[in-house]
A and B are shown apart, each in its own frame.
Chain A
Amino acid sequence: MTTLSRRDFLKMGGAAAAALAVGQFVPPSVAQAALATGQVNAQGDGEIATMCEMCVWRCGVLAKVRGGKVVKLDGNPDHPHSNGKLCPRGQAGLATTYDPDRVLSPLVRVGKRGEGKFREASWEEALDIVAWNMLEIKKKYGPEAMVFSSTHNLSQVQFENLLQAYGSPNYGTQRSLCFNAMIVANLMTYGMEEPGRSYEGVKYIILTGRNLAEAISNSETGTLIDAIDRGAKLVYIDPRFTKTAGKAAEWLPIRPGTDLALHLAFINVIISEKRYNAEFVAQYTTGFDELAASIGQYTPEWAAEKTGIPAETIRRIAQEFSDAAPNALAHNGWRTSNFVNSFQTERAITILNALVGNWGVTHLPAGGEESGALGKPPQPGYPRISALRLDGVPWKYPFVPLKLGVFQELRDNILKDDPYQAHGWFISRQNPAQSIPDRRKTLQAFAKMDFIATVDVIMNDTSWFSDVVLPEASYLERYDPLMPMGAKAFIRQPVIEPQGQAKSALWIFKQLGERLGLGDYFQYADEEDYLNQQLAPTGVSLEEVRAKGYAELPEGEAEVYKWNTPSGKIEIKSSTLEKAGFAAIPTWEEPPAPKSGEFYLLTGKDARQTQFATHNNLLLKKYDDEPRIWMNAKTASENGLVDDDLVEVTSEVGKIKVHLEVTQAIRPDCVYMTPGFGHLSMGLTTAYGLGASDSDLHISYTDPISGGQALSQTFVTVRKA
């Protein structure tokens, strides 16, 4: 058992800083700057406002510092995503920053790939190696032979800048493994990626697999619990009795892959009983008549057969939902790409909302993360890109937005050299070795590369297979670009000096850009200059933003009844889908089902972990559950299995061994694993050896419309190991 107190790793942080100070004088600029803005006193004690990065929700944080060390993190009451609160991951952020496994120096591989043998290198040398290889690949094979991938972080805008300036079309994000189905369905229906949601005054909520109590979005989770407390009814649909199910008035343990049938039947009841908001539908939607003409077949009785939920329950919920409208909300969910029919499921959910006319009440225009009020450094235009994207966007997946992409297809096409061969991969804070289904193939794709470089805070599994690892400063040690949110722009600023030689992504991308001959695209002297250029049009000084934690921006008048669709209305029948020959109104698609003796393999979330990045955090490990595979108690007993048995789980593409958790909280035909465990990197000394990876089992299936990976469409057998 690892025993390490916070004090121990505080000491380590100090030792690393001291070691660096011997060779190189580093002025305590963070402390001095914080002193100047009055955030800390002369002893270096105080509170600095910044932003969390333990997940992508980005809560405001007040970091308590004592003499150059950060000792406690609290939620910032001024930030709408935290309201003064932090979730377990946010609270545990110190253990990520002071992780004894942090990579604190640039590393260059000396052993075989995957052997984990590296030597320390200077930044000069490491950056030269990365740039030289990227230039070689460009020279020999063209810029398209270099793949770039990064996921949802505040520095991503400069990552995208680097990729576009370099001239590669190949951009891999994690989004197709998560919410492509939801985003593309919203674009088709509402002309926006994700409408906002309001729980203020909500009386009826349907969550379809949106496990808000465990997949915590801090402020949204809090407001959901408030709404339930006020008396709102929560109907929760999930094959698992999650912690959100525990808060629901009704839990519907649906057969996986049939959420579309359930929502089609809700729509059937609402239309056949004339429960829709006729005025709203007539004024603001198109295609209602076509929907009404085809929905008759999807009766509650029909859906009961598919879903396993009684017809009278389906009918009653549809009635209750429309009775509560417009104070009713059917949540789109996030990680919704679970079956190839998930896109149609998402469309059905968006249409259910539109029919009851909850727009402007519980369902709102999207509040974007981009703001025209902020400036940015000047730069030349990007080179024209003529090469096709390896992930099939848009030549195979015309509706997938370029910035979403189809990650699993990118990996598969690297293996097939289709339509050409990739030679290098530059990865920033992303862990495809864990995240993309069918991990064996991902490792084969790494093996095909001439060169791999990663930017990360710790030695994640992808870094482990890299040729060069560039150490990024943790979120408590660096600036990132300002993040606009409504009428404010929030700052992530360093609260302590970077440990070791870690540097911000803004610095790393600029350095790399200059070495690639792309210096004109990075016209900022340093991080503060970048933020100053962002703030220039607002007239707010960086000093003021640093002291307050945010800048006030002029707020544009948001038009409520405006949708960026071809018709300018909410498209129940999508003209775009119709032109392309896809089902233009939601239509039932039968999902595949497991054979006898097989189980649906479900994935989900645990409140202590984020995706594939937090498992090495000692504080999260301290309070997390042991990662085991769930099986229904009755099923286990029928199969002669008992709690904690070591079992072998086999899918078409892989096999793992993991311990069994016997529980009542799951359908008898399903098993469940929390994703992200089963790390390959031995550089993660806390996480290595914990649990198993569901990516070893998942099969790649891509939804042809949204490009989403059908994550629950993998079936497995389970036997005693």
Chain B
Amino acid sequence: MTKQHAYLFDATRCIDCRACMIACSVENNVEMGESYIWLSGAGVMGEYPDLKRASMPYHCMHCLEPDCESACPVGAWHKREDGPVVYDASKCIGCRYCMNACPFQVPHFDWNKGIIEGAFIRKCTMCTQRLEVGQVPACVHTCPTNALVFGERADLIAEAHARIAAHPDRYINHVYGEFENGGTSYLILSHVPFTELGLPEMPETPVNAVSEAVMEGTIPFALAWGTVLSGVAIGINQMNKKKTPSSPALPPRGEGSNPPLPPVEGSGVRENGTEATK
């Protein structure tokens, strides 16, 4: 049987350095205005001097039963046996149902490309290109504190429970993602309530168990609605194109930053230099 890969994130080890986010950007050629990982969590909690910190790199949960896959009218989404939830741009019609369906609000639309240049939904891919050559995802690989680890899902669930059992005072007694939304391939341990990491409270029944029944036979509807949304998107795209970005205003130079300057010798240095070569 193929290994079902997963990530385990331990918030007690995360120092919010964001090496994972930069590694992801480089590995996946993510545009400057885009990110597949975003910083989540309350940051500083409490009131001085009784404070706590918590943060988390938030990315696709790679659900076992992904809502994006259920919601997609054209089968552009697919949960691979080895873990990643992947997307096929060639099938996508740009309806963005997946964006509405995802309870973690992960997939996002690439407005730079839009529907005209081909529909593009962006999200974490679990670095499938790395998995194929036996490497772990870029974010995990670089994590300086091993807050992120990667492996077989069943092993990581066992590891997570072992960590809780070893330090019950340190962790919330729960492995987020073990059962949430039917189980995910991003598992999370935390010292603060999961909502403080920006994670939604989630029933154990996947949302799509309900929606899947409704979705059956709705492709014609989806196509029609997709066309309407496409129209809107084209309009927005056109509008966006008309806006020329203004160059950023430069702040005034601080007082005292222009000192008295010495008499300028202009290009004298050069002539001198030329002389020296004779």
Contacts and interface: CB of A to CB of B under 8 A. Distances in A.
Interface of A: 1-7, 71-75, 84-88, 90-92, 94, 108-110, 112-114, 124-125, 128-129, 131-133, 135-136, 213-214, 216, 218, 221-222, 225-226, 229, 231, 241, 243-247, 251, 253, 439-440, 443-444, 446-449, 451, 467-468, 607-608, 618-620, 622-623, 632-634, 654-657, 663-668, 678, 680, 682, 688-689, 692-693, 696
Contacts of A73: 26
B144 A72 contact: no
Interface in B3-51: 12-13, 15-19, 21-23, 25-27, 29-33, 35, 39, 44, 46-49, 51
Contacts of B260: 444, 447
Given A86-B144, A634-B48, A618 B261 contact: no
B15 to A, nearest CB: 4
A682 B272 CA distance: 28
Nearest to A229: B13
Contacts of A222: 144-146
Contact of B15 (A221, A446, A608): A221
B217 interface: no
Contacts of A110: 266-267
B220 interface: no
B117 to A, nearest CB: 15
A644 B204 CA distance: 40
A88 B18 contact: yes
B250 interface: yes
Contact of A689 (B19, B39, B250, B264): B250
Contacts of A666: 48
A664 B251 contact: no
Contact of A131 (B31, B52, B270, B276): B276
A657 B17 contact: no
A655 B255 CA distance: 7
A72 B28 CA distance: 10
Nearest to A664: B48
Nearest to B145: A225
B202 interface: no
- Overall SS of chain B's interface: loop
B216 interface: no
Contacts of B51: 241, 245-246, 251, 664-665
Contacts of B145: 221-222, 225
B158 interface: no
Contact of A74 (B31, B47, B141): B141
A696 B144 contact: no
B132 interface: no
Interface in B38-78: 39, 44, 46-49, 51-54
B256 A440 contact: yes
Contacts of B248: 1, 689
A334 B141 CA distance: 28
Contacts of B167: 231
A87 B144 contact: yes
Determine which residue in A447, A623, A655, A667 has the highest number of CB atoms from chain B within 10 A of its CB, and name it: A623
B86 to A, nearest CB: 21
Given A3-B32, A607-B18, A114 B261 contact: yes
Smallest CB-CB A-B distances: 5 pairs: A246-B53, A129-B273, A132-B276, A213-B15, A225-B145
B218 to A, nearest CB: 37
A418 B273 CA distance: 30
Contact of A696 (B21, B52, B256): B256
A665 to B, nearest CB: 5
Contact of B18 (A241, A245, A623): A623
Given A133-B272, A665-B44, A668-B48, A3 B17 contact: no
B269 interface: yes
Contacts of A467: 269
B90 interface: no
Contacts of B258: 114, 443
A262 B44 CA distance: 26
A439 B257 contact: yes
A600 to B, nearest CB: 15
A4 B261 CA distance: 36
B134 interface: no
B276 A135 contact: yes
A459 B42 CA distance: 38
Contacts of A253: 48-49
Contacts of A448: 262
A89 to B, nearest CB: 8
Given A72-B26, A251-B51, A128 B250 contact: no
Contacts of A94: 26
A451 B277 CA distance: 18
12 contacts: A5-B29, A72-B27, A87-B17, A92-B22, A92-B26, A109-B269, A113-B262, A241-B49, A243-B15, A243-B53, A633-B47, A668-B48
A470 B141 CA distance: 37
Contacts of A440: 256-257, 259
B171 to A, nearest CB: 11
A90 B141 CA distance: 13
B13 A225 contact: yes
Nearest to A443: B259
Nearest to B44: A665
B215 interface: no
Given A72-B27, A634-B48, A678-B254, A108 B269 contact: yes
B19 A87 contact: yes
B173 interface: no
B254 A692 contact: yes
